[in-house]
Amino acid sequence: MRKFTGVVLAGGKSSRMGEDKGLISVEGQAMVQASINLLKSVTERIIIISNNEVYEQFGYEVFKDILPNKGPMGGILTGLINSNTEDIICLTCDMPYLTDAVIDKLITYSEEGSPTIIQYKDRLQPLVGIYNRALIPQIQSDIENDKLKILKLLDEIEHQVLSLLENEVGSKVFLNLNKKEDLKK
């Protein structure tokens, strides 16, 4: 059976939110907890990528970015390097409405060793995906060359895209909460 390490990206600067967004409560729980809950049943181990030690309160290992200030690309690299499995399931901490059904579809659709991301409507969601340790040299090279966009990485490598429609998963599933106004909605 295929095994995964769950990687929660919680290392952003949260500059648009004004406070650490993974710790903000949405519907009674910290946003990061929603991501952790999704990973519990499908991963062997969960790690949180953040430079904020406060995340240790959730009971999982917290790793600081190996290469600081490199955005989600640096977070994925840190997750891959600290993974104890070949594949990771990567989730961002600011999508509290993701569902088990979406994660199950992602796992079922993906093939071992092949990076897999989701496309919802017309938008790619690279921070909800499966990545493989074989990508470490490519990601390191991209970061060294200041190529920090995950979508550019995906242009350079073979990968799979799972297309999901709103009627399959609902309208709020990929709602990304980055600003105070997003919370009010």
d(CA 28, CA 90): 23
CATH number at residue 74: 3.90.550.10
pTM to 2 decimal places: 0.93
Assign 179 a pLDDT band (cuts: 50, 70, 90).
low
pLDDT digits (tens, 9 = 90+) for 4-34: 999 999 976 654 545 688 898 888 999 999 9
Q: Rounded to 5 degrees, what angle do the CA atoms 162, 64, 158 make?
A: 25
Higher-pLDDT residue of 172 and 108 is 108
pLDDT digits (tens, 9 = 90+) for 47-85: 999 999 999 999 999 999 999 999 999 999 999 999 999
**pLDDT for res 21:** 85
Residue 2: Cβ within 10 Å count: 13
pLDDT digits (tens, 9 = 90+) for 77-124: 999 999 999 999 999 999 999 999 999 999 999 999 999 999 998 999
- Considering all CA atoms of the chain, what is the largest pairwise distance in Å, rounded to the nearest integer? 42
Residue 164 corresponds to which tokens in the numbers above?
A: 């999901």
pLDDT digits (tens, 9 = 90+) for 141-165: 999 999 999 999 999 999 999 999 9
Is the pLDDT at 46 greater than 90, yes or no? yes
Residue 8 corresponds to which tokens in the numbers above?
A: 């929660």
Which residue type does 143 have? I
**pLDDT for res 111:** 93
Nearest to 10 by CA among 41, 52, 60: 52
The structural domain count of the chain equals 1
DSSP state of 31: H
Assign 177 a pLDDT band (cuts: 50, 70, 90).
low
Assign 176 a pLDDT band (cuts: 50, 70, 90).
confident
The crossing angle, in degrees rounded to 10, of helices 31-40 and 100-109 is 50
Q: Rounded to 5 degrees, what angle do the CA atoms 154, 133, 44 make?
A: 115
Q: How far is CA 51 from CA 18, 24, 101, in A?
A: 16, 16, 30
For 64, the domain range is: 4-184
Residue 129 corresponds to which tokens in the numbers above?
A: 């995906």
